[in-house]
Structure 1
């Protein structure tokens, strides 16, 4: 298979848009729809497809090196793409202490898909964008390796996510998406039409995402694009953290609608939307689309925020 030609993977595009009858939204006059990006491809679902596809075309079959934490969905998707398309993948994993431990299910899946895992200490990982540090990392990589940043978020990925917004033209006034590194939100907002706005729900603490989205749009489009905003209240303790309230909400949503809800991103976004609805943040007759960026497959941890400590997981 030609590694720069993704058509043989047969992605489901545009992804389905489904209306959800939820009386909690309906009694406030809000119509909820789900953009089922989780159904695009079984191994590269949701924003993984939209962000990776343009990078894989640019790599054109060359080895791909990328970055992530111990439970990174991005690493798993990159490894799967390498297996499916026949190119070499290298995953740089945050935390050299993990090198001597048995692989968790997420990293084991990466390895099974042929990804070479390289564990680095956290100081090196934080400095991975420094040219000298990156050059040192690449010394052990195959020749002519193509580098994809953590979470897959770069200008190419942002431009790839523009199509998500275009697929939703006229479908809703508000489109909500969970955010890790900000690439999906940056492209989504640029692709939406007049009268539409994008709402990002960060799943990490820190308040850095606004600057990150602005920088990504500057790189991709030369400046801010589209109408977008962030609501940073719904991270539930940080990445890979959950709370009893979030778990109860997710279980209730699953029971109401028969849809398994991924906890680290999707549940937080939906929880945020319901909170906003109950706060009357949306005028009556508002149509709200929730982008379902991933599926619940049991491979990610659910760490209660009350346990404290730094998560080993990585953002998307």
Structure 2
């Protein structure tokens, strides 16, 4: 299931959150969308193993492990970082392991070659035949799944649709299925200007913009200002946000509202893309640094 919930703050505009995080207990949000047609393709090709890539706190790693277990696939995660770093598995890797995923650790330099044909061939030599799912799940089949996020009702009801952006797959699907009168805003979770070029590989429309002012330093940086916002938002709405993607997006939306970025009386739809499993690991890091933690875990 998913639902649209109005965020009742004293704004001169209407803000709704689409709870795609409620689609599935383990394969939530955009990961459910991205994996849907990839799983079907792997089944049609009679593959029995899924191989994918991710960092040690990757939502995609857990989602692929869960999708594999649910659909009868063996799963292998190629993990960025030396194995010695993860002798004691963090909550994300421990969860994926409990779902049956095996790990293959590669150093960060090797990991940068994850799309290199020679590296892929080396994985086939090691693991045999498999269906390859890219880092973050983004490929043409993932875009197809993400095009289903925006419904016909959404196209008619909202002036703006907002999404967090990691690899660009989710927002590409949203752009493709949006109406031309709508403005699609992507809130970058990472530093860098590469996202727009990645998105242009999948879209033809021009009714979109990447907002790069709210990445808070990137994936591994959790700033106190963001943690305080997440806790306040949850206290007032009872909607949990993750600190890597959706939380940054919502922080950015609130800030842009205050700065009068949106046209008067606008209706905004913010897509909750899930990722809540990572909160436990983030809180471990914050606790170790004696910093304020996120006051909810999923």
TM-score over 0.5 for the pair: yes
Contact 1:260 1:295 in 2 (8 A): no
Runs of 4+ in 1 over 6 A off after TM superposition: none
CA RMSD of aligned residues (A): 1.7
2:234 is aligned to 254
Q: Which runs of 5+ in 2 are unaligned?
A: 290-298
Contact 1:79 1:110 in 2 (8 A): yes
Q: Of the candidates 132, 153, 161, which is equivalent to residue 146 of structure 2?
A: 161
Distance 1:100 1:18, change over 3 A: closer
2:110 is aligned to 124
1:16 is aligned to 3
1:32 is aligned to 15
Which whole-Å CA distance do the structure 2 matches of 1:103 and 1:252 have between them?
30
Which whole-Å CA distance do the structure 2 matches of 1:202 and 1:224 have between them?
20
**Does residue 282 in structure 1 map to residue 262 in structure 2?**
yes
Which whole-Å CA distance do the structure 1 matches of 2:252 and 2:80 have between them?
29
Q: How many residues align?
A: 281
**Does residue 42 in structure 1 map to residue 22 in structure 2?**
no
TM-score where L is the length of structure 2: 0.90
What secondary structure does 1:170 align onto? helix
1:301 is aligned to 282
Query: What per-residue deviation string (whole Å, max 9, x for no partner) do you get for residues 22-56 of structure 1?
Result: 11xx2xx2110001100111111100010011111
Q: Which runs of 5+ in 1 are unaligned?
A: 1-11, 218-222, 308-316
Q: Which shifted more, 286-295 or 267-276?
A: 286-295
2:216 is aligned to 236
Query: What per-residue deviation string (whole Å, max 9, x for no partner) do you get for residues 279-298 of structure 1?
Result: 10011110011111115343
Contact 2:33 2:145 in 1 (8 A): yes
TM-score where L is the length of structure 1: 0.85
Contact 1:192 1:226 in 2 (8 A): no
Note the C-alpha offset of 1:226. 5.3
Which whole-Å CA distance do the structure 1 matches of 2:172 and 2:228 have between them?
30
1:146 is aligned to 131
Note the C-alpha offset of 1:233. 0.5
Which whole-Å CA distance do the structure 2 matches of 1:248 and 1:99 have between them?
29
Note the C-alpha offset of 1:300. 3.5
Contact 1:166 1:193 in 2 (8 A): no
What secondary structure does 1:133 align onto? helix
Q: Of the candidates 106, 116, 137, which is equivalent to residue 92 of structure 2?
A: 106
